[in-house]
């Protein structure tokens, strides 16, 4: 996407303070969008990223919210709307990965994973849809995982949350396709983030021979935002491990 291609648009990225989220925030800002950077706990990183964008001449704000809570999502979206404008672009990136085996997984951990990885996507989409519908334009990109279709290493609760996210993506895409709003997903596998610290041995399983990079995931997100004809799809990034 070219510089300033999104000038006048407002984006909201959940879990945007670091890793994949921060890479997406930076690409959106370069493309000219004003960006709301959601965080739950890492205020310092989110504020520093927003300040970096503002120093470069862009518009950005950090906004705290636990996106698994409906009231918090409502307040977050209203803050972004009042300070930056109506949300045109939503990237649901917030998520957790609790590594558990079958015999160790608790009900509370299952519920928390579903709430953060799946329920939050529903809450955020519902909150921004009135603005997108009014403008007859919107782009929603949900960050999934290769675990939605494969076994993965985190646990079945994580698989379920990401498979549900992709089902949600297709359901919303089908119902919004005639309203100028596209809904897609990006499913990265084994990306070099904090989640993969201490997992260097896994890289040998990747045909490309290395972990993916957050910037490479961001490029796929930007491709979907740029393409008005693509909806209900999931782009997988796996370094050659799997093919759709």
The candidate with the shortest Cα–Cα distance to 159, out of 211, 99, 207, 107, is: 99
Confidence band of 187 (pLDDT split at 50, 70, 90):
very high
Tens digits of residue pLDDT in 133-178: 999 999 999 999 998 998 888 999 999 999 999 999 999 999 999 9
Mean pLDDT to the nearest integer, 216-226: 97
DSSP element (H, E) containing 74: helix 70-83
- Per-residue pLDDT reduced to its tens digit, 86-99: 999 999 999 999 99
Query: Would you state the pLDDT for residue 67?
Result: 98
pLDDT digits (tens, 9 = 90+) for 33-76: 999 999 999 999 999 999 999 999 999 999 999 999 999 999 99
Mean residue pLDDT of the chain comes to: 94
CATH number of the domain enclosing 81: 3.40.50.720
**What is the predicted pLDDT for the residue at 243?**
77
User: Is 4 within a domain?
Assistant: no
CA distance 224 to 241: 22
pLDDT at position 195 = 61
- CA-wise closest residue to 148 among 157, 140, 139, 136: 157
Q: For the residues 224-237, what does the mean pLDDT come to?
A: 97
Q: By the 8 A CB rule, do 173 and 124 touch?
A: no
Distance CA 187, CA 130 (A): 27
Domain that holds residue 203: 10-237
- Model pLDDT, residue 84: 98
Residue 1 lies in a domain: no
168: enclosing H helix or E strand = helix 156-176
Residue 43 falls inside a structural domain: yes
Q: Are 6 and 25 in contact (CB under 8 A)?
A: no
Query: Residue 199: pLDDT above 80?
Result: no
| Residue 244 within any structural domain of the chain | no
Mean pLDDT of the 107-134 span: 98
> How many domains, in total, are found in the chain?
1
Catalytic residue among 39, 158, 172, 211: 158
Catalytic annotation present for 229 = no
Helix pair 156-176, 120-135: axis angle to 10 deg: 20
pTM of the predicted protein model: 0.94
- 202 inside domain: yes
Please give the pLDDT value at position 59.
Answer: 98
243 within domain boundaries: no
Give the span between the Cα atoms of 145 and 159, in whole angstroms.
8
Does residue 2 sit within a domain? no
Residue 121 is assigned to a structural domain of this protein: yes
pLDDT > 90 fraction of the chain, expressed in percent and rounded: 83
Give every CB contact of residue 232 below 8 A, 6+ residues apart in sequence.
169, 170, 173, 174, 177, 183, 184
């Amino acid at each position: 996407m070219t510089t300033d291609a999104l000038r006048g648009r407002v984006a909201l990225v959940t879990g945007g303070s670091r890793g994949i989220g921060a890479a997406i925030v930076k690409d959106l800002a370069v493309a000219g969008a004003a960006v709301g950077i959601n965080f739950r706990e890492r205020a310092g990183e989110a504020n520093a990223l927003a300040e970096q964008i503002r120093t470069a001449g862009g518009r950005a704000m950090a906004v705290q919210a636990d996106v698994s809570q409906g009231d918090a999502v409502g307040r977050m979206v209203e803050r972004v709307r009042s300070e930056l404008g109506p949300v045109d672009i939503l990237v649901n990136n917030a998520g957790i990965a609790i590594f558990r085996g079958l015999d160790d997984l608790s009900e509370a951990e299952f519920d928390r994973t579903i709430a953060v990885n799946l329920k939050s996507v529903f809450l955020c989409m519902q909150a921004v849809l009135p603005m997108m519908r009014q403008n007859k334009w919107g782009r929603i990109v949900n960050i999934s995982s290769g675990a939605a279709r494969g076994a993965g290493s985190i646990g079945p609760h994580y698989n379920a949350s990401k498979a549900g996210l992709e089902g949600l993506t297709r359901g919303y895409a089908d119902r919004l396709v005639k309203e100028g709003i596209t809904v897609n997903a990006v499913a990265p596998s084994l990306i070099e983030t904090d989640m993969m610290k201490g997992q260097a041995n896994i890289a040998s399983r990747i045909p490309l021979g290395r972990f993916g990079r957050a910037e490479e995931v961001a490029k796929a997100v930007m491709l979907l935002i740029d393409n008005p004809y693509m909806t209900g799809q999931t782009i997988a990034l796996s370094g050659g491990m799997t093919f759709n």
